[in-house]
Structure formats: C-alpha cells, structure tokens
C-alpha cells in the first residue's frame, strides 16, 4: 500500500481515492496483487496481501485481478456497495464509487491505463461531487454539506498552483469590483436623495411663504377686526401723544425716513445658469405635490420659484445710505435649506429688492452695499439717487438703562398696513381679488397708505453688543430704527425675545457708525 502523491503514474496502476471517513482527501495506491480489504476500529481501511484460507480482522472484501481487469468480491455477511448498489462480486471500472460497510468510508476506484496526472481538473472534481450526491445513502443535507466541503477542499489541494492562484486573483478582483460598485451605488443613492430632498426642502420653504401670503379669508378677518384695531391703535397713539408731545414730534419727523422693504430671492444652478422654477400644467398653473408642496425643476419655463420677504430700513447719514439688518439684506442666511442646496450647485440670488418711502407712490430699486460680518447689520443704497431718503441723525452714545425709546417699523409687513388702510381699501381688494404680494404693496403706495408703526418702550440693559428694550414689535419690524426722545438713532431693531416678557434686541449705534465708515458713507 502506498500513499505517496506522484505527478506521473505508471500504466496499469490502481488507487482508491477516499472521499469520506478519517482518510478523506488521501489517495491510497495499490499493488496489482490480490488484496484483502478490512476496516479497523478507527474506520480506516487496511489493505493486506491476500492469504489463502485466512481473513484479517474486520474483513470486508477482496480485490483481485482477472483477465487484466480488477474485481471486488464482498464477504457474504458484509455489505459493500458499488455505485449505490449492493454487490457480492463485480468488475470495477475507472471512477466507480465503493462504499465499504454500513459505517465504512466512501472511496473512488481509479484505474490508470496510461500516464495520468494526480492533479485533478475542475470538471473531474465537480463530476465526483455529483456522483457522490447520486450514490451516497446519507441524508440529503449531510450529502450536500459533504459534497460542498469536498469540492472546496479538492479545489485547494488537488488543482495546480496556477489554477489556485488564478481563482484567488479572480476572487480578489471580484471583491474589489463589488466594493467599488457598492460605493458607486451609495454615492448615487446619496445624490438622488440629496437632489430630491433639496427640492423638497425648498418647496417646503415656498409652502410656508404661500401660507404667509394674503388670502381672501385674511381680508375678511382684517375687515372684521379693522374697527377694533383702528380704535385700539388710535387710543394708543392718543395716549402716547398725551403723555409726551415730544414723542409725537419725533415720530412725525422720522416717519419719511423709515422705509418698507420688499424682496424675493431664488436659486440659480451654477453650471447651467438656470433658475429653479415651478413646474406648470398645460394652462400655466403651478403643480402641487400630494403633500401640498409645489413641484420644482431647473427645466421648463414656469414661474421662478421665489421666496418673498419684507423688512424695515431707514435712511442714515448725509450720503443717502439705508441701514437694515443683515438677515434682511441676505435673507437666505436664515434659511436652513441653503447649505444643502449649495452642495448641489444651487446658489441663492436676489431676484427683486425694492423700497417704499412713506408718502411716495412708486417704489425704488435698492442694492446691498455692505454687510457686517460680526453683527446683524447691512448698508443698502437706492439705485435712483435723484431723490434720496432723508437720513436720521445717529446718537453719539449708547442709551442708559431706564431711558425711554421709540421703535419704528413695519411689523407683520403688509398685514399691519392693511389694518390701517380702512374698510374702503379692503373692500376694493376683495372686489378685484388682487391680493398678490407685489400688487398689494403697490396699491397701498398708490393710495399713500404706507406708513411705519411706532411703539414706545424702556431700555433695560446695554452692552457693547446689544441693547435690550421692551417696546412692542414683531417680525417684519427687523431693521427699523430705535430712537431716543430727541429723535436720534440709538440702535437698530434686530430680534424679539417673547420668552422674556416681550424683550427685544437692538444693535448699538456705535456698530452702525463703524459700518458706514467702512463703506465710506459717513
């Protein structure tokens, strides 16, 4: 019995290739003499030269040569199967599967009639596995597990080094390709998600803007409350005048310097130069998604998707400059969606920016001159300087806690002015159904109904960065002047803190002076 593995096998050699049992994976080379095959206690097959009249312990079968062929003869009381059939004696052919005894191993008989390779071809290994699945009497699951493990083992042990190296390289290459493809898929999915979310987020902003726009119902509610609110405002103004005639003079003198700002911005694609627009139907009406948001695209010729806003500004200094908040001049900086949109190549762009001066029927275009990097301030300029806005004087020092101040501006934007316009004007809007963002402001200006609201308060705290006071105001009043009793600007209204009893924050006048000097306008 020989177990050595050889590259070349002499003609007529025979071998048993053990597929199961303790010797699994080994090849036992046999001589041409008659051999007795027995099974040891450890289930290892033993091969001994046959002795007449004698049988070794655990004797199963005898292998002998007849007419140049090889026969196997099973012991009468020991079961031996060849190719799944129990036999008593049969001539063996090349690649026959022999199963020795109930608990014995399964082996393949190999007969080499010429030079033969010990290394196996992949087809042979796979064929052996298929034959094993057919002839083995084990349960199906065990057969499948044994066949699979045998294929893997034999591919690693019995094929050439070149084949094994090629398989490893192929596996590495496929793994690298799968990893790269997975990365591409992830990037594509992220881009699709971000692209969809950016439009969805901006659509949400436009939805909020639409909700803030005037509706016929708003006009009805304004009309119902008009008498009460006008009466209340009149009483408050009368009380203000009664308490301090000086305050009335300050308000009257400053009114024409406080501007109503109206603007809109959109997003432009940096590569194509196209603005983000509404998707419209055949009749030119913007389409709305099932969740109530407008559908947007860089393609098509629908209306530009614009975010409308209002604010307050005031003339300052002798050079015709207009002061407002940075978040009014750059409203997209307050938009949480801008960073996501910019990552997709969409840049914010001011589409329209105009200012209404009280008493004037036409709006004037304005532009941003400079914004402060460290405070909520910006300097604007009128495009038409033939009739500049009268500038308010700037205080030389900050107010002191306890000082009385007056805040002027346009809180709630168009709504506050409609509340002051009178029933006839509201009735006119209702009849004509003309309640567009731009047209309502133009009609108010045409009737000379644009005028700032005023509220009085007391300064509670002053620092280098902010002035805190309790004058009543709300959104839309941002950028308005905070005046002392002499009519000089001591701060710029910037934010409200309703959680602190209606306290408001203003940017100190010293920062206004510094910004005007930096812009060469003071």
pLDDT 10s digits, 368-400: 999 999 999 999 999 887 888 999 999 999 999
Helices (H), 296-407: 326-329, 338-343
3-state secondary structure of 491: strand
Residue 240 confidence (pLDDT) above 60: no
Residue 269 is predicted with a pLDDT of 92
How far is it, in rounded angstroms, from Cα 268 to Cα 401? 47
State residue 396 phi and psi, 5-degree precision: -90, -10
Residue 215 is predicted with a pLDDT of 74
User: Is 18 domain-assigned?
Assistant: yes
The reported pTM is: 0.58
Out of 102-116, 137-151, 326-340, 481-495, least confident range: 102-116
Higher pLDDT among residues 189 and 229, named by residue: 189
Residue 118 is predicted with a pLDDT of 47
Q: Count how many Cα atoms sit within 13 Å of the Cα of residue 396 in the half-sphere of its side chain.
A: 0
User: Is 38 domain-assigned?
Assistant: yes
Q: Residue 472's pLDDT band (boundaries 50, 70, 90)?
A: confident
Find the Cα–Cα–Cα–Cα dihedral 265, 271, 272, 275, rounded to 10°.
Answer: -10
Helices (H), 368-422: 414-421
pLDDT 10s digits, 168-209: 788 888 888 889 888 888 888 777 776 666 666 666 666 666
User: Is 74 domain-assigned?
Assistant: yes
Q: Residue 235's pLDDT band (boundaries 50, 70, 90)?
A: low
Residue 2 confidence (pLDDT) above 50: no
Is the Cβ–Cβ distance between 516 and 522 less than 8 Å? yes
| Count of structural domains, the chain | 1
User: Is 98 domain-assigned?
Assistant: yes
Q: What stretches of 317-416 adopt beta strand conformation (E)?
A: 321-324, 346-356, 364-371, 378-382, 404-409
How far is it, in rounded angstroms, from Cα 188 to Cα 193? 8
**Tokens standing for 383?**
């495009």
Residue 6 is predicted with a pLDDT of 42
Is the Cβ–Cβ distance between 34 and 50 less than 8 Å? yes
Is the Cβ–Cβ distance between 111 and 141 less than 8 Å? no
Out of 236-250, 414-428, 429-443, least confident range: 236-250
Higher pLDDT among residues 260 and 52, named by residue: 260
Is the Cβ–Cβ distance between 198 and 346 less than 8 Å? yes
How far is it, in rounded angstroms, from Cα 155 to Cα 304? 66
User: Is 203 domain-assigned?
Assistant: no
How far is it, in rounded angstroms, from Cα 112 to Cα 9? 7
How far is it, in rounded angstroms, from Cα 263 to Cα 332? 12
- In CATH, what number is assigned to the domain containing residue 97? 2.60.200.20
Q: What radius of gyration do the chain's Cα atoms show?
A: 47
Residue 335 is predicted with a pLDDT of 78
Q: Which domain holds residue 46?
A: 13-118
User: Is 22 domain-assigned?
Assistant: yes
User: Is 235 domain-assigned?
Assistant: no
Which residues, 6+ apart, have CB-to-CB distance to 335 below 8 Å?
Answer: 205, 307, 348
| Percent share of the chain, pLDDT over 90 | 32
How far is it, in rounded angstroms, from Cα 82 to Cα 62? 14
**Tokens standing for 504?**
């408001």
Is the Cβ–Cβ distance between 206 and 307 less than 8 Å? yes
User: Is 464 domain-assigned?
Assistant: no
pLDDT 10s digits, 109-166: 888 754 444 455 666 777 777 777 777 777 888 878 887 887 777 777 666 666 777 7
Q: What is the mean pLDDT of the chain?
A: 83
């Amino acid at each position: 019995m020989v177990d050595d593995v050889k590259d070349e096998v002499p003609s007529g050699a025979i071998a048993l290739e053990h597929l199961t049992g303790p010797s699994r994976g080994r090849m036992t080379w046999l001589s041409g003499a008659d051999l007795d095959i027995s099974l040891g206690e450890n289930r290892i097959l033993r091969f001994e030269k046959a002795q007449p009249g004698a049988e070794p312990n655990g004797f199963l079968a005898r292998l002998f040569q007849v007419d140049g062929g090889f026969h196997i003869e099973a012991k009468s009381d020991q079961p031996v199967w060849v190719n799944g059939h129990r036999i008593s004696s049969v001539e063996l052919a090349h690649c026959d599967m022999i199963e020795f005894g109930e608990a014995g191993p399964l082996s393949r008989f190999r007969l080499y009639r010429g030079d033969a390779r010990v290394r196996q071809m992949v087809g042979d290994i796979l064929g052996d596995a298929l034959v094993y699945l057919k002839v083995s009497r084990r349960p199906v699951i065990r057969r499948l597990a044994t066949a699979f493990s045998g294929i893997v083992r034999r591919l690693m042990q019995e094929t050439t080094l070149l084949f094994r190296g090629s398989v490893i390289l192929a596996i590495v290459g496929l793994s690298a390709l799968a990893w790269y493809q997975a990365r591409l898929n992830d990037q594509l999915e992220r881009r699709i998600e971000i692209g969809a979310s950016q439009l969805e987020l901006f659509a949400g902003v436009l939805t909020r803007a639409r909700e803030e726009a005037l509706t016929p119902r708003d006009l009805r509610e304004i009309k119902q409350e008009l008498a009460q609110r006008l009466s209340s405002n009149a009483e408050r103004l009368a009380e203000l005048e009664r308490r301090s005639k000086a305050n009335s003079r300050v308000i009257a003198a400053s009114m024409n310097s406080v501007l109503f700002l109206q603007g809109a911005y959109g997003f432009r694609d940096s590569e194509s130069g196209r603005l983000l627009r509404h998707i419209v139907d055949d009749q030119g009406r913007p389409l709305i998604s099932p969740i109530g948001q407008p559908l947007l695209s860089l393609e098509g010729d629908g209306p530009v998707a614009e975010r409308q806003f209002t604010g307050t500004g005031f003339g300052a200094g002798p050079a015709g400059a207009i002061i407002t908040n940075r978040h009014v001049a750059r409203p997209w900086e307050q938009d949480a969606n801008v960073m996501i949109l910019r990552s997709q190549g969409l840049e914010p762009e001011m589409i329209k920016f105009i200012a209404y001066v009280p008493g004037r029927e036409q709006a004037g275009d304005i532009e941003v001159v400079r914004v402060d990097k460290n405070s909520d301030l910006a300097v604007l300029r009128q495009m038409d300087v033939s009739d500049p806005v009268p500038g308010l004087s700037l205080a030389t020092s900050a107010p002191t806690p306890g000082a009385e101040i007056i805040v002027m501006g346009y809180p709630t934007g168009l709504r506050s002015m409609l509340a002051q316009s009178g029933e006839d004007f509201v009735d006119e809007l209702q009849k004509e159904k003309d309640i567009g963002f731009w047209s309502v402001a133009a009609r108010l200006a045409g009737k000379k109904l644009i005028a700032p609201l005023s509220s009085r308060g007391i300064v509670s705290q002053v620092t280098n960065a902010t002035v805190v006071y309790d004058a009543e105001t709300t959104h839309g009043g941002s950028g308005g002047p905070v005046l002392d009793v002499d009519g000089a600007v001591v701060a710029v209204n910037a934010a409200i803190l309703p959680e602190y009893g209606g306290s408001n924050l203003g940017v100190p006048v010293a920062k206004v002076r510094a910004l005007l000097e930096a812009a060469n306008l003071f």
